[in-house]
Structure 1
Amino acid sequence: MARLAYSVLWLYVFTLPWENVLLIPGLGTLSRYVGILAALATLAYVLTSGRVRLHWVHLVALGFVLLSVLSYFWSIAPQDTLERILQYGLLWMFFWAIFVVLEAEGPIRRIMSAYVLGAYVAAGNTVYNFLSGSEVVYQRYAAANFDPGDLSFVLSIGIPLAWYLALRETGGWTWLYRVYPLVALGVVFLTAARAGLLGVAVGLLFVVLTLPRATWQLKTLTGALAALALALIPTLIPPESFSRLATLLDEVSSGTLNDRTNIWLAGWQVFGEHPLLGTGAGTFGASLEGHPWFRQWVAPHNLFVAIGAEMGVVGLLLLVGLLGGVAARLPSLPPLERLLWASVFLILMLACMAQNWEWRKQTWFVLGMILAHWAALSQGQVRPERRPL
């Protein structure tokens, strides 16, 4: 049963980066149903083995989910809240399943590999859409049914994971991990996502900081790939993408970040009107339909603004407890793993500041993997090299 739970979890993680590419008409993404199978397999494993692994952070996350359930009773859009409750329930099961199933570094690395391989699918579909001229918006490209901004962060998360595997793994598949940072960089240029470019920068910084650990062959390959990127990217990427990305500093210093600052201000106004418990999980868009600035459904584009408006200060405290509880594990990790997960966590925070990722599987994947890797190392499952960075 343990092998079954792990196998289905691996498949689920593999589908995460490209989940929107394959939609089942009338049912949604394939990933959702693989996730349900993973949750059931994990429950079966726990019931048959009698082993229940739980950290206090899981209880904080469960409290967050239960608050979303209760918010149905005061929700301004009960149907939206019901949908979000179902999402949170499955995401909590995923978060917990990672901790239950992955008890040693071997399986943890293979789950990282599943994410990177899935990211290649999303990257390949983006390139296909670029070559076929299928734009999301003018001169911006993404995998099918993906928002370019979301996709840029999905791919950015894979950069530290791939490079960590390139440093730690051997064998015929390692070339995929070695070239992934270049692939992700090129595809994020195609998305022309300004915030996503910051995520890529964090991922590439992890590569630079850990390059001294690489073999001379890997260092040579990295130098060659960097030179290749400098030569090819300016000629292959549409000039409009560079023009949009070049406005990042101006947009941060004096712009509205594509109207995000106005949305955030309106969201905090909603929070001020419902400070304790909010308007109900998943109702941010509905709460702005009556706002004088928008009068239509609008995405929050910020996790903290979304939770503040939807679940009030109680929800914000639970969310901060969840994020803080996971982040507090980072200092006790060995140097390489600490830098790995600090980089991934920072990319996640950038995504959460630009997008409302509280309901995205990638958020709960990152948090679950940090907790699982910390538990495996602290329990003596592995003894990684502790050479200082």
Structure 2
Amino acid sequence: MSNAPALRSLIWEWIQVALLGANLIWTTLCLGGFRAETMVVTSMLTGLLFVVHLLARADAAAARVWPANGANGDEWRGAAPAVERAEGPPDPDVARRMSGGMEGTAVLPALTRKATLAPRPGDVSLHPASWLVLPFLVYAAANVAWISPVPWLGWRDWFGWAQLGIMFWVALNGVRSPAARGTLFTLLLLLGLTAVVLGCYQRFVRPDWLMLGRTQVQQFVGRASGSFGIPNSLAALLLLLLPPCCALALRRGASAVQRVLFGYVAVVFLLGLGLTVSRGAWISLAVVLVAWPLFARGGSWRRRLGWTAVVGVTLGAIALTAFFQVDLVRERWIKLKQDSGELSRPILWRGAWRIFAEHPVWGSGAGSFAVAFEKHRPATFQDDPLWAHNDYLNTLSDYGAVGFTLCFGAWAVVGWGAHRARKRGRTGFPDQAALHAAAGSGDSALQDPPVTAAGLLDSAMFRRGLAAGLVAFALQLFVDFHFKIPALALAFAVVAALYVQAAWPQCRAPAERGDFFKAWGFAAVAFATLIGLIGHVLPLYRAEALRYDARRAIDRLAVRATPVSEWRPVLTDALKALQRANRIDPTNAAAWADLSYVKALFAWIEPTRLDAFAIEAEHAADRALALSKADPEFWIRRGVALDMRRRHLEAGAAFVQAVATAPAWAGAWYHHAFHLSLIPSQRGRALAAVEFCLRLDAGNREAQALRRRLTESGGAP
């Protein structure tokens, strides 16, 4: 019964692996997991994962304070009893498991001498790298509370970062055995293969197919996105996984089966990457592959430069072949040349930089890029961006220099720490390194361990593959928003944890008298996490899911030009959903604004109740503005409600505020023009406003119809 804590530790670990895996599967197969209804499940899985991890650590600390079956307490204050404290020779089964399958009498004495380095049940030590993610999360929470002009969006953005941090923390501290780590990496490979298969189906069978019954937007038809909604997202996942697979296939000492297996997986991933036609991913991978020989250990500089030249020439030949043989590839590169680069991304990047220039220290506020961008929107750009298409600039504009430094500076320190640990030779899990050294394998930092699960995960070549994948992913962040896609953030966190575990091993903490308080402390944090999950996070996403679906249904009425006589069932369902969303999360200002919108639309199908709907619409718009005055649509909703009540002077002030908030947004100018058209004396200004709207967006059908009615009737519509 003395092994009871070890068994409990094993059970806790595999529960965490199961929750980690379930979250990876769920987010990856649900368009990346960014939709609000998907995030309801994702947030629940993440919260439960962290709670389980904390309870596991509380149980481990308690095992050191209250040993099972009346043990004297010293047993679990040292190393695993079957190895370090046991009298006589160690248990051969335990020795075999800890040695990764190595057998021989030379290993057994080493186990007794060096097992104190090994993670053991009751160990409550935390890897120092895991603490580095906390300062940014604390700062980001303060930013949401005191700086963000859109706190309901800010909290969702904060939870995205928190989810990344939790996954990294748990994968680093809670998944420590070779079998568990190998299971996580295998799961990532299977998800990558599944995504590529779906991408092939999408590319060669149904180009407009998407997961969850969705239809691919026209701009991405012909490119594979797999289980994601965006081809670049699939490319990012493959960037993380392709270099480690290549490393395992090329690893010194790999068996023929391993070379064939991992080589095949790498070829499949390379095929999937090609089908995405993602220029940013291709360039990122090319940079990493060309630079890889330069940073490889061993060999002269002449040899490294030679390999770099060979890789560069090979990649150049592949690129030229693809350019001349694949029409879509040629079209995308020609378009890049015609546009002198990118059209939309530089606009967003300049906007993000100007936002940062206005708020250099603390940023414009968490989750505020979309509304802050309105001030810097050029007249020729009428898209509705959520993010800056550059995670570095997006973080800089939202959180300022302080947040940027705490966020990416922390990851830089993690990478630097792992690099320093690797240079000092502290690579692999301590128990494996000790065993390999004891078995006569030499310097474990320079030689790959034997071909076992632990040997593969702790091999030098695999570490370099993980590092290459992380660097390629980080390079692509310059042109995309991968940290905003939960599946990619979670995959990054797991791969980063695997790399840190292999390159910067976790050392065992000595026994402490504070274990009693640690046990209760972990349990208290777990309880607080559960309360926060149930009381704040889940309502946040449940309300947004209801709001999003309701607004999507309303917008389809306009897109499809649905007759007014067919509006009632859609508006009735939307009204119920929005009312429920407001009850679940009264802090979601967008839900209040959309409720105001629905009330205004109801007046079209029930004109006899115009005044009642107008009052309700005004009340909902005021609730939205009480929460945030940064969104121009909230002012529009108030102006529409006041126009319905024939309070045109107050409505005019609201529309002026909307135009001031978004001076180059065609939607604001259209509603301002419509308001002016209701006042006979303002017909000239209405025509001027609608003309300016059409200069901003010549294809705006509502503005075209309004101009036509104004010019033909000579008065109000």
**1:54 counterpart letter in structure 2:** L
Displacement of 1:154 in angstroms is 0.9
Aligned CA distance change for structure 1 residues 42 and 165 (closer, same or farther; 3 Å): farther
Alignment-derived partner of residue 297 in structure 1: 384
Q: Residues 1-389 of structure 1 correspond to what in structure 2 (within 5 A)?
A: 1-14=12-25, 17-20=28-31, 26-28=37-39, 32-50=43-61, 51-72=123-144, 73-135=146-208, 136=216, 137-166=220-249, 167=251, 175-201=260-286, 239-245=327-333, 250=337, 255-293=340-378, 294=381, 297-298=384-385, 299-328=387-416, 329-333=418-422, 334=445, 335-359=460-484, 360-376=489-505
Unpaired runs of at least 5, structure 1 = 213-225, 380-389
Moved more, 360-369 or 23-32: 23-32
Deviations 1:182-214 (A, max 9, x none): 21222222211101112443676699999x9xx
Q: Is the 8 A contact 2:163 2:490 kept in 1?
A: no
Moved more, 10-19 or 305-314: 10-19
Aligned CA distance change for structure 1 residues 129 and 206 (closer, same or farther; 3 Å): farther
Displacement of 1:375 in angstroms is 3.5
**2:278 counterpart letter in structure 1:** A
Residues of 2 paired with 1:14 and 1:176: CA distance?
A: 22
User: Percent of aligned pairs with the same residue?
Assistant: 17
Moved more, 95-104 or 330-339: 330-339
Deviations 1:54-93 (A, max 9, x none): 3443333111111111112211211110111222222221
Deviations 1:133-185 (A, max 9, x none): 32442422212442111211111211122233444776978754221222122
Residues of 2 paired with 1:261 and 1:242: CA distance?
A: 22
Displacement of 1:297 in angstroms is 3.4
Q: Is the 8 A contact 1:307 1:316 kept in 2?
A: yes
Deviations 1:19-66 (A, max 9, x none): 527899934486554434433332222121124343443333111111
Q: Is the 8 A contact 2:245 2:465 kept in 1?
A: no
Aligned CA distance change for structure 1 residues 75 and 23 (closer, same or farther; 3 Å): closer
Residues of 2 paired with 1:30 and 1:246: CA distance?
A: 42
Alignment-derived partner of residue 95 in structure 2: none
Residues of 1 paired with 2:32 and 2:255: CA distance?
A: 31
TM-score by length of 1: 0.78
Residues of 2 paired with 1:139 and 1:238: CA distance?
A: 12
Residues of 2 paired with 1:290 and 1:176: CA distance?
A: 53
Displacement of 1:246 in angstroms is 6.4
Residues of 2 paired with 1:54 and 1:115: CA distance?
A: 25
Displacement of 1:262 in angstroms is 2.4
Aligned CA distance change for structure 1 residues 164 and 23 (closer, same or farther; 3 Å): same
Displacement of 1:331 in angstroms is 4.6
SS of residue paired to 1:309: helix
Aligned CA distance change for structure 1 residues 154 and 372 (closer, same or farther; 3 Å): same
Q: Is the 8 A contact 2:172 2:498 kept in 1?
A: yes
Q: Is the 8 A contact 2:203 2:224 kept in 1?
A: yes
Aligned CA distance change for structure 1 residues 120 and 32 (closer, same or farther; 3 Å): farther
Task: Choose between structure 1 and 2 for higher RCO, CA contacts under 8 A separated by at least 6 residues.
Answer: 1
- Which of structures 1 and 2 has the bigger CA Rg? 2
Q: Is the 8 A contact 2:389 2:479 kept in 1?
A: yes
Residues of 2 paired with 1:286 and 1:123: CA distance?
A: 36
Q: Is the 8 A contact 1:148 1:193 kept in 2?
A: yes
Residues of 1 paired with 2:168 and 2:33: CA distance?
A: 23
Residues of 2 paired with 1:129 and 1:343: CA distance?
A: 28
Q: Is the 8 A contact 2:364 2:397 kept in 1?
A: yes
